[in-house]
């Protein structure tokens, strides 16, 4: 915040408080007992407003709020750049809360730190802890049931884009993943897009009419095998999905598959290293446990 805007806020705030204080005293007419029959000179639906002072309790309440606001502005930020006597900020408040939470829950995570992912995944209490971590950090994309959505993989089956071993899952969570399905329209043209889309659907057992599968296979062999392999079974090292298992991240309709081939896809799994190794270990075990249920 610049000095100008800081000064502007300070002047505006103090001026407003000063005007409120002046208004309270300027309109106060003595004690509560001083009643009058004098009106303010206007009426609405036959109702006239008497020119009587505020009740004493009401005036005291106004003054109490004024005093509270003054004390607040001295102790906490509120006057431009003034940090307040207490030096409070939302950042250090958050950091203190995190420190308290870490101190409280660190011993719980530490109990499982030296166990393997497979062992943790079979511990009911550990799975419940992992489920809560998942709900806070992962459910916004993968859903509360971890079954994913359009563009977000289902974590409860055994179809893995980047691999489903404990080590691979840990790497995915800790370091994130960046998918890169390139756009092929400029290379293979509309006919190539349509034919290879039909061929890819054919690999998963889906029927497609008015498509030259032989031409689609030729396009696939010349442009797609580098990532998806000659049989279309994918490559976890590259994040290239298996195209033969009828599991579709962006939809299996002819239009959706063509869109993927024509324009490409760029999925992003953000790295969660900020959670710390102990929490990532618990999350890894939880995600791993989901595939064990099938």
Numbered residues of the known binding site: 138, 141-142, 181, 224, 227-228, 269
Tokens of 1: 């915040």
DSSP string, the chain: --HHHHHHHHHHHHHHHHHHHHHHHHT--S-TT-----EEEEEETTEEEE-PPPPHHHHHHHHHHHHHHHHHHHHSS-STT---TT---HHHHHHHHHHHHHHHHHHHHHHHHTS-HHHHHT-HHHHHHHHHHHHHHTHHHH-TTS--BTTB--SSSS--SS--SHHHHHHHHHH-EE--B---HHHHHHHHHHHHHHHHHHHTT---SS--HHHHHHHHHHHTHHHH-TTS--BTTTTBPPSSSS--SS--SHHHHHHHHHH-B--EE---GGG-HHHHHHHHHHHHHHHHT-
- Binding positions for heme c are 138, 141-142, 181, 224, 227-228, 269
Judge residue 160's burial from the number of C-beta atoms within 10 Å of its C-beta, 0-12 exposed, 13-18 middle, 19 or more buried: buried
Distance of CA 181 to the CA centre of its chain: 24
Provide φ and ψ at 83, rounded to 5°: -80, -10
């Amino acid at each position: 915040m610049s000095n100008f805007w800081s000064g502007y806020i300070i002047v505006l705030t103090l001026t407003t408080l000063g005007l409120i204080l002046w208004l309270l005293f300027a309109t106060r007419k003595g004690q509560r007992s001083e009643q009058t029959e004098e009106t303010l000179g206007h009426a609405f639906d036959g109702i006239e407003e008497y020119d009587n002072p505020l009740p004493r309790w009401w005036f005291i309440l106004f003054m109490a709020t004024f005093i509270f606001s003054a004390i607040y502005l001295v102790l906490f930020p509120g006057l431009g750049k003034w940090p307040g006597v207490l030096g409070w900020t939302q950042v250090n408040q958050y950091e203190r809360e995190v420190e308290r939470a870490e101190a409280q829950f660190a011993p719980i995570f530490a109990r499982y730190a030296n166990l393997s992912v497979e062992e943790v995944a079979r511990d009911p209490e550990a799975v419940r802890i992992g489920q809560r971590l998942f709900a806070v950090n992962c459910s916004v994309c993968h859903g509360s049931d971890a079954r994913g959505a359009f563009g977000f993989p289902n974590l409860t089956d055994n179809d893995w884009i980047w691999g489903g071993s404990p080590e691979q899952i840990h790497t995915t969570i800790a370091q994130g993943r960046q998918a890169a399905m390139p756009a092929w329209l400029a290379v293979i043209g509309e006919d190539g897009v349509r034919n290879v889309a039909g061929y890819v659907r054919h690999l998963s057992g889906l029927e497609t009419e008015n498509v030259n599968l032989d031409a689609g296979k030729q396009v696939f062999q010349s442009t797609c095998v580098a990532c998806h392999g000659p049989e279309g079974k994918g490559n976890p090292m590259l994040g290239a999905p298996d195209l033969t298992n009828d599991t579709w991240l962006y939809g299996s309709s002819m239009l959706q598959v063509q869109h993927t081939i024509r324009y490409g896809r760029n999925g992003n799994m953000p790295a969660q290293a900020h959670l710390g190794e102990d929490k990532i270990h618990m999350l890894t075990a939880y995600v791993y446990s989901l595939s064990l249920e099938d």
